[in-house]
Chain A
Amino acid sequence: MKLLKYALFRLLQAIPVLIGISIITFLLANLGPGDPVSLMLQGQEHDEELVRAIEQRYGLDKPLHERYVTYMAGLLQGDFGQSIYYQRPVSDLMMDRIGPTLLLVLSAYAFALVTAIPLGVVAANRRNEPTDHLSRIVALVGVSTPSFWIGIVLILIFAVKLGWLPSSGLVYPWRPPDAYRGIDGHLELFQQTIRHLLLPMIALGTLQMATIMRVERTQMIESLQGEYVKLARAYGVPERTILRKHAFQVAQLPIITIVGLNLSTALGGAVLTETVFNINGMGLLFVNAIQRNDYQLVMGVTIVLGTLFVIGVIITDISYAYVDPRVTYGESE
């Protein structure tokens, strides 16, 4: 019950931030010197009448605050306006594209967690041994290398040179297998999805892996020096059990927070990864929208990605509170 209250409290707290995101995005997209109409008409001949007609159609003739209120009213009903380039509702476009991005980001996290946690634990347990040094080198390279370049190098090795894996596109597991030519059966669909996902997942996940591993290592070292570990040792609990149960569990708590906060870099990284691997997700949609000066679409994507981050942080906060009994639920308690 307490947890539910806390969840509600966090959700309420997020409302001003969400409104803030919409204001900042709206101002950036509308206050800039490039006004949408002339961008739309780039290179075309036009007269006053046409300009006025377009302004009227998109409501650009009204003052800024009125336009914002209209936009917000639409947003609350799930209406992000009309994409100027695609001539389709922005929300429809985003519905098509959000799946691949979520798939990419979640699998990148899965990759990061599955590799980083064991490596971090082993590194902490064997401090200053070769394994530890190796893990530190991996972490350093991981935080210092741009995700898109990792993607490029992976493509060069595994797609261009060895020809083992595809270099672009994604096969969506939620589509029926007969939507793709040459794929029959759900098993092969699944296999193809994995094959296409492998390289972008590693490219996007490496930075996450490096940061998580660093934190995991430090936390494990600290946790292994904790009083409860000493007590467990004094009681003669086997070292393996201490490592697995006592030290390990406590060390995982900060990881939850890191995962939430890193979502911001992961979503930004998705823009680059999707560009390199030509995946039709939100990131590529954003890049295309920016290139085509489709400001309605840019606003929509920016707001949705910002909201995804806020939701991610709330989810991690709540799961933190759920896992750690010491957390007090906000100042209101």
Chain B
Amino acid sequence: MAVGESQVDSGTDAAGEDEEVEARVGWRYTVARIRKDTTARWGLYVVAFVLFVAIYAAVDSNLSRLTFGQFSDYTFAKLLPIFDHPTRIPPPGEGTQHMPPYFPLAEQPWNPLPAGGTLEHPLGTDPSGRDYFTRIVYGTQVSVFVGIVSTTIGLAGGTIVGAVAGYYGGRVDDALMRLVETVYAIPPLILIIVFTVFVGGANIWYAVLGVGIAFVPVFARIIRSRVLSIREMDYIEAARASGVKDRDVILRHVVPNSFAPVLVYATLQIGVTILIVAGLSFLGYGAQPPTPDWGQMLNTAHGYMHSNVWLSIWPGLAIMITIMGFNLFGDGLQDALDPRIED
């Protein structure tokens, strides 16, 4: 636990220092520090903005249709029942009636895409005539959702593996750590693609699961090293001596006390996950069309590099800003949660 670490530099006036440390690791204190830390604050703004856009696009399609002009019926709602909303899916025909004429690729006149900058299509349209701005906005959902869910899967899996390995030690530890090392040795992107394609067939859910599994080793290692030090603490000894079951010791005492630094790491990991998923989608193994997804949009844009440069720019900027938000926030959180750092 963080308190244990901070006692290293207490020394003088032990009682008063302890109280202060107590105050310094509290939730309210953390929030106060985040508000004071410029990096964390900006990170929080960006993350909040990205989350807002994702939820906004998911929940309020009527409002967004008013705000952004037409919406196509290509919604994430079809994929994700939890985002389903009665007003989401337009009746047949309605979603497409505002769309500009569709040019099949072969008959396309040179540079058929509106340049953008108009009120109706601020960023122009994609090669199929769908509003690019809307698709970028919708793409936020996939990235944020996949980033958070697969990081959570990795975190949960890593916590179980790491806690069990660290707590039991010996052979269990050896066996689990060899497995972790092995999974860690295969480059994540490669592992995820092989998993997605051979186990599930290109499908966003298998991609999410694959990304989660690929990051189990990272979390397992951190949790394990935390558990190794906590295992020796007196209160664990006490719990064990009073006959608490192993499972309860791990879940109630070991895991909660090793969690804080991992949570910071998880925030940073969301950024890495979004980065990987963007690459996965770019190769065609992430979200499948027609679901709008930034990586997949960049893939389509690749064929229009000479005629429509901006198609390749916007989704990349969106990816960059989103990841940057999570990275800034994670960095700031790290400083804020570390009780050793003085103001």
Report A's interface with B, CB cutoff 8 A.
16-17, 20-21, 24-25, 28-29, 31-34, 140-141, 143-149, 152-153, 155-156, 160, 264-265, 267-269, 271-272, 275-276, 286-287, 290, 295, 298, 301-302, 305-306, 309-310
**Cα separation A145 to B319 with both chains bound (whole Å):** 7
- Selected from B186, B188, B193, B312, the residue in CB contact (under 8 A) with A290 is B193
Residue of A nearest to B306 (CB): A160
**Cα separation A153 to B310 with both chains bound (whole Å):** 10
- Selected from B182, B193, B200, B324, the residue in CB contact (under 8 A) with A144 is B324
Please give the distance in Å from B184's CB to the nearest CB on chain A. 8
Say yes or no: A275 contacts B305, CB within 8 Å: no
* Known A149-B316, A268-B188, A290-B193: A20·B199 in contact at CB below 8 Å: no
* Known A144-B271, A148-B298, A310-B185: A155·B305 in contact at CB below 8 Å: yes
In the assembled complex, which residues on chain B have CB atoms less than 8 Å from the CB atom of A153? 312-313, 316
Q: Does B251 contact A (CB under 8 A)?
A: no
- Selected from B186, B278, B282, B319, the residue in CB contact (under 8 A) with A306 is B186
Interface readout for B291-334 with A: 1 if CB under 8 Å, 0 if not?
Answer: 00001001001100110010011001001100110011000000
Say yes or no: A140 contacts B201, CB within 8 Å: no
Please give the distance in Å from A17's CB to the nearest CB on chain B. 5
Number of A-B residue pairs, CB cutoff 8 Å, is: 142
Q: Does B11 contact A (CB under 8 A)?
A: no
In the assembled complex, which residues on chain B have CB atoms less than 8 Å from the CB atom of A146? 275, 278-279, 282, 295, 316, 319-320
Q: Does B219 contact A (CB under 8 A)?
A: no
**Cα separation A164 to B328 with both chains bound (whole Å):** 35
Please give the distance in Å from A258's CB to the nearest CB on chain B. 15
Interface centre among B186, B279, B285 (most CB of A within 10 A): B186
Say yes or no: B185 contacts A21, CB within 8 Å: yes
Please give the distance in Å from A34's CB to the nearest CB on chain B. 7
Q: 7 A-B residue contacts at CB 8 Å?
A: A33-B199, A149-B319, A155-B305, A269-B189, A269-B279, A271-B190, A305-B187
Which 8 pairs from chain A and chain B are nearest by CB?
Answer: A20-B182, A268-B189, A32-B198, A149-B316, A268-B187, A144-B323, A144-B324, A267-B187
Please give the distance in Å from B28's CB to the nearest CB on chain A. 28
Say yes or no: A272 contacts B282, CB within 8 Å: yes
In the assembled complex, which residues on chain B have CB atoms less than 8 Å from the CB atom of A33? 199, 201
**Cα separation A306 to B217 with both chains bound (whole Å):** 15
**Cα separation A324 to B64 with both chains bound (whole Å):** 60
In the assembled complex, which residues on chain A have CB atoms less than 8 Å from the CB atom of B71? none
Say yes or no: A28 contacts B195, CB within 8 Å: yes
* Known A28-B194, A146-B279: A21·B320 in contact at CB below 8 Å: no
Please give the distance in Å from A200's CB to the nearest CB on chain B. 15
Say yes or no: B186 contacts A302, CB within 8 Å: yes
* Known A28-B195, A145-B320, A160-B306: A265·B187 in contact at CB below 8 Å: yes
- Selected from A143, A276, A302, the residue in CB contact (under 8 A) with B190 is A302
Please give the distance in Å from A7's CB to the nearest CB on chain B. 18
Q: Does B244 contact A (CB under 8 A)?
A: no
Say yes or no: B282 contacts A148, CB within 8 Å: yes
**Cα separation A144 to B272 with both chains bound (whole Å):** 8
**Cα separation A140 to B330 with both chains bound (whole Å):** 12
**Cα separation A115 to B222 with both chains bound (whole Å):** 30
In the assembled complex, which residues on chain B have CB atoms less than 8 Å from the CB atom of A269? 189, 279
In the assembled complex, which residues on chain A have CB atoms less than 8 Å from the CB atom of B260? none
**Cα separation A270 to B320 with both chains bound (whole Å):** 19
**Cα separation A305 to B191 with both chains bound (whole Å):** 10
Which residues of B150-205 have CB atoms within 8 Å of chain A's CB atoms? 178-179, 181-191, 193-195, 197-201
Beyond contacts A28-B194, A145-B320, A290-B285: 16 other A-B pairs, Cβ-Cβ < 8 A, are A17-B181, A20-B179, A20-B185, A32-B198, A144-B320, A148-B278, A149-B319, A268-B188, A272-B189, A272-B283, A275-B283, A276-B302, A298-B194, A305-B186, A305-B187, A306-B187
Say yes or no: A17 contacts B194, CB within 8 Å: no
Chain A: interface secondary structure? helix
**Cα separation A275 to B190 with both chains bound (whole Å):** 14
Residue of A nearest to B210 (CB): A28
Which residues of B263-292 have CB atoms within 8 Å of chain A's CB atoms? 271, 275-276, 278-279, 282-283, 285
**Cα separation A272 to B327 with both chains bound (whole Å):** 22
Say yes or no: A149 contacts B188, CB within 8 Å: no
Residue of B nearest to A30 (CB): B198
- Selected from A143, A155, A264, A301, the residue in CB contact (under 8 A) with B271 is A143
Interface centre among A156, A160, A290 (most CB of B within 10 A): A290
Say yes or no: B320 contacts A156, CB within 8 Å: no
Residue of B nearest to A275 (CB): B283
Residue of B nearest to A310 (CB): B185
Say yes or no: A156 contacts B309, CB within 8 Å: yes
Say yes or no: A141 contacts B298, CB within 8 Å: no
**Cα separation A276 to B283 with both chains bound (whole Å):** 10
Say yes or no: B327 contacts A21, CB within 8 Å: no
Please give the distance in Å from A306's CB to the nearest CB on chain B. 4
**Cα separation A34 to B193 with both chains bound (whole Å):** 14
Please give the distance in Å from B273's CB to the nearest CB on chain A. 12
Say yes or no: B316 contacts A152, CB within 8 Å: yes
Interface centre among B179, B275, B319 (most CB of A within 10 A): B275
Residue of A nearest to B310 (CB): A156
Interface centre among A24, A146, A264, A267 (most CB of B within 10 A): A146
Say yes or no: A152 contacts B312, CB within 8 Å: yes
Residue of A nearest to B328 (CB): A140
- Selected from A16, A20, A145, A264, the residue in CB contact (under 8 A) with B187 is A264
Please give the distance in Å from B229's CB to the nearest CB on chain A. 19
**Cα separation A87 to B126 with both chains bound (whole Å):** 39
**Cα separation A25 to B185 with both chains bound (whole Å):** 12
Residue of A nearest to B325 (CB): A144
**Cα separation A51 to B232 with both chains bound (whole Å):** 60
Say yes or no: A24 contacts B283, CB within 8 Å: no
**Cα separation A147 to B298 with both chains bound (whole Å):** 12
In the assembled complex, which residues on chain B have CB atoms less than 8 Å from the CB atom of A34? 198, 201
* Known A25-B186, A146-B279: A152·B194 in contact at CB below 8 Å: no
